[in-house]
Amino acid sequence: MENNDNQFVVLVDQKDRPVGRMPKLEAHQKGVLHRAFSVFILNSKHELLLQRRAVSKYHSPNLWSNTCCSHPYVGELVIDAANRRLKEEMGLDTPLEYLFHFIYHQEVGNGLIEHELDHVYYGFSDNDPKINPLEVSQWKWMTLKAIENELLTSPNDFTIWMRIIFPQFYQVMKTEIEF
């Protein structure tokens, strides 16, 4: 989907109702609430596919995070955006299921603030990714328990949203599928 609005984010209220749009960088500079999504891909061994953000990213560079995350274009459904970005960042195409959403507000360095209503999706794939090096520098599969331990011992190696989302994701996954 080509979209001239791809540098804009959808501004939302606390109930995820659109209230406008704003350039992505400006929204992060001002800390304005906007719509986002996070995708978690598990394999048949129940390992999670992590990505290390590219060094060139304008915030949170070189940090480990969930499989992919981004913002929908103006007028784009969140699930369509999640599928699009999973292909663009990781070269993967797999059905995604909605899990939950949450709102967070955190500084991410360089005067930037993430204030997002984040929709969380998950899916399954045993395929290794074909990463886009403009977005991702490395990837790895890890067990959820190992990630939980890494987040406790080395939290600064991970994006702020991964630190926030993962405990809830892990709890939901333990009730959804057997680990």
Indicate which residues carry an active-site annotation. 69, 116
* Maximum alpha-carbon separation in the chain: 43
Dihedrals φ, ψ of 12, to 5°?
-135, 165
∠ CA 90-95-97, nearest 5°, is 105
What's the distance, Cα to Cα, between the start and end of the chain in Å? 37
Distance CA 62, CA 122 (A): 23
Distance CA 18, CA 35 (A): 9
